[in-house]
A and B are shown apart, each in its own frame.
Chain A
Amino acid sequence: MHRFANPARFLRLAALVLPWSGGLTVVLLGAGLYFALVASPPDYQQGDTVRIMYIHVPAAWMGLFCYTTMAVASATALIWKHPLADVIAKASAPVGAGFTFLCLLTGALWGKPMWGTWWAWDARLTSMLILLFLYFGHMALVNAFDDPTRGAKAAAILALAGFVNVPVIKFSVDWWKTLHQPASVVKMGGPAIDASMMLPLLLMALGFTTYFVSVLILRVRAEIAGAKIRAIRLMQVHGQG
């Protein structure tokens, strides 16, 4: 468990992973965009608006994935006092917020021509908006204290309490009658989506995942450097520099 707690070990691993995750992101998103915009057919009902799906659905998955990462990291930080776990939770939040925002925005852009409205207060949309506010709350709380460890602890509790929203989002389309369509990829009996549309969807989703890994590494590196700078300054203040 504590093998990667050592920042030096993490930094070595990160230096190894980053060129690969960054390169993969470019390749996957490049191929994903080609299939999403050029080499896939328009939907027989939704026309070319279906291409919004290749951003919207992976962004939604990543909104949930980043939050799950944040919640697992927060639990690890609270239970095992793992120093790197707090840093990973803090670094995940802005990326998750970015994806959740993109999901809501592209959803509105898709909803207007297909449902006739930008927004509806239905269960799926509302629970996704709550997810965005949970991210904002986490980002505000983590920086709200002079002592970073107190901020991290408060934010970790928020992340865990807010995790209840993740299954609510996932199953909202089954539990309530919503305007939003039910799951068509991850469902019983296999996906109900044509292979020509599944390919760009998977490429974009994988590209978003490697993007998340890459940005997470950069943000964790910044946090580690920041913590070391704080430690050196503290020693200088106490006359040990």
Chain B
Amino acid sequence: MTGFFEMGGYAGYVWPAYAAAAVVMVGLWLLSLRGARLLEAQLRLLQESRPHRRRTAGKRTRPEEATGADA
């Protein structure tokens, strides 16, 4: 098993290459996932505070209530 980690004497080149790939790819994946989730949650909040016009035409939320979701 030690031979595996030594990489024939090239451990200092092989492992950093794989580590860099892991950091960049996992990092970009997590950032993209977080970005999508944050914005989609924000959008849902905005849409809930601002009910669909056709369905709730009679009892529409006033604009000052609708903007309350900005925070």
Residue from A48, A56, A225, A229 in contact with B7 in the complex, judged by beta carbons closer than 8 Å: A48
Q: B46, A229: Cβ atoms under 8 Å?
A: yes
Contacts of A47 in B (CB 8 A): 8-10
Residue from B24, B36, B46 in contact with A98 in the complex, judged by beta carbons closer than 8 Å: B24
Q: B8, A59: Cβ atoms under 8 Å?
A: no
Residue from B4, B9, B20, B32 in contact with A102 in the complex, judged by beta carbons closer than 8 Å: B20
Q: B14, A51: Cβ atoms under 8 Å?
A: yes
Contacts of B18 in A (CB 8 A): 33, 37, 55
Contacts of A37 in B (CB 8 A): 4, 18
Residue from A33, A38, A49, A102 in contact with B13 in the complex, judged by beta carbons closer than 8 Å: A49
Main secondary structure of the interface of A (DSSP, over half): helix
Q: A106, B20: Cβ atoms under 8 Å?
A: yes
Main secondary structure of the interface of B (DSSP, over half): helix
| Contact A218:B36 (CB < 8 A) given known A48-B14, A211-B29 | yes
Whether, in the assembled complex, A105 has its beta carbon less than 8 Å from a beta carbon of chain B, the answer is yes
Q: B9, A225: Cβ atoms under 8 Å?
A: no
| B-side interface residues, number (CB < 8 Å) | 31
Residue from A42, A222, A225, A232 in contact with B32 in the complex, judged by beta carbons closer than 8 Å: A222
Within 8 A of B (CB), among A29-64: 33, 37-38, 42, 47-49, 51-52, 55-56, 59
Q: How far is the CA of A38 from the CA of B43 in the complex (A)?
A: 46
| Contact A241:B50 (CB < 8 A) given known A98-B25, A236-B63 | yes
Q: How far is the CA of A234 from the CA of B47 in the complex (A)?
A: 14
Q: A225, B39: Cβ atoms under 8 Å?
A: yes
Chain B's closest residue to A52 (CB) is B17
Within 8 A of A (CB), among B48-71: 50, 63, 66-67
Binding site for B on A (CB under 8 A): 33, 37-38, 42, 47-49, 51-52, 55-56, 59, 94-95, 98, 101-102, 105-106, 109-110, 112-113, 211, 214-215, 218-219, 221-222, 225-226, 228-229, 232-233, 236, 239, 241
Can you report 16 residue pairs joining A to B where beta carbons are below 8 Å apart? A37-B4, A38-B4, A48-B14, A51-B7, A52-B14, A95-B28, A98-B25, A102-B24, A218-B33, A218-B35, A219-B35, A219-B36, A232-B43, A236-B66, A241-B50, A241-B67
10 nearest A-B residue pairs (beta carbon): A225-B39, A48-B8, A218-B32, A48-B7, A222-B35, A222-B36, A106-B17, A241-B66, A221-B36, A218-B36
